[in-house]
Each structure stands twice: as structure tokens, then as C-alpha cells.
Amino acid sequence: CVPVPDPDMEPVDYYKVSKLSVIAKGEPGSTSSPWELVPPLLEVYRERGHRRLAARTYDTKCRSCMWGCRMPVEIIVDNWNSRGRRKYRFETFCYGPLSCKLYKPGPNRKVEGRNGMVYVEEDWVDQMAVEHRGEDE
């Protein structure tokens, strides 16, 4: 296997792992929350839209769910200077049904901007991203 070039931008430690073998097969995944099934195509996730997910909830309840996601996010600190400073952090998201009883949004995200300004991502951002879905979609 090969280590990733920049760990701040990747959710994994290694790429190109080979010579894996199946030692034993597990039991079938859960068909209710957390949904432990084969994940759908990436287009399905994009179409559904995401909501922020509390990191603690992700770690304790949603890590095995096909709708829970922890991924690297790139923040351009100064949008007017695209070659300027960038920051990286991991954030957790939920693409699951709006009716999921395990879902907890966590605190509003804060993003540093130019000249020390701070942008707070309010709840309406998540609501807008999933407004096209029903409660059980």
C-alpha cells in the first residue's frame, strides 16, 4: 500500500492496498437506522443533499451507516484571492432520511474569512439542501 500524499485532504491513511482476502463474511447489514447496506452511487448522495452531523453522533452511532460521512473540507480563507491561504478540516455529514431518530445536528459550523471575519453556517443552509426530500426519503 501507498501512504496518501496529504493526510489533511484525505479520510484514509493509505491508497492502492492490494492482496486483500476475505477471512470471514459478516452478517447482513441493518435495514433501519443505522442503515448498514451497500452505499449507492455518488450521484445519489449529491442529489439527496446533506445536513451537518454532530461529530460525536457520527463516531458513536452513524459511522457504520451508509448515509453518515466524514470527509475533508477545503476552506478558502479569502475568496477574493483564490491563490491565498487555505485551511483544511474534517467535517461530518448526514445524507440519510430526515426522520432518522439517531440524527443530531451538532453546533453551527464557523468558517474563518478574510480580515478576521467569521461566517457562521446557520440551520437554513441545511434546510435548503434537503428541502426537496420527504421525511422518509
pLDDT tens sequence across 98-128: 999 999 998 999 988 888 889 999 999 999 9
Domain extents for the chain? 2-15+29-130
Sheet holding 86-94, edge to edge: 51-52, 86-94, 68-76
Share of the chain above pLDDT 70, in %: 99
Provide the pLDDT confidence category of residue 129 given band limits of 50, 70 and 90: very high
Q: What would the mean pLDDT of 8-36 be, rounded to a whole number?
A: 84
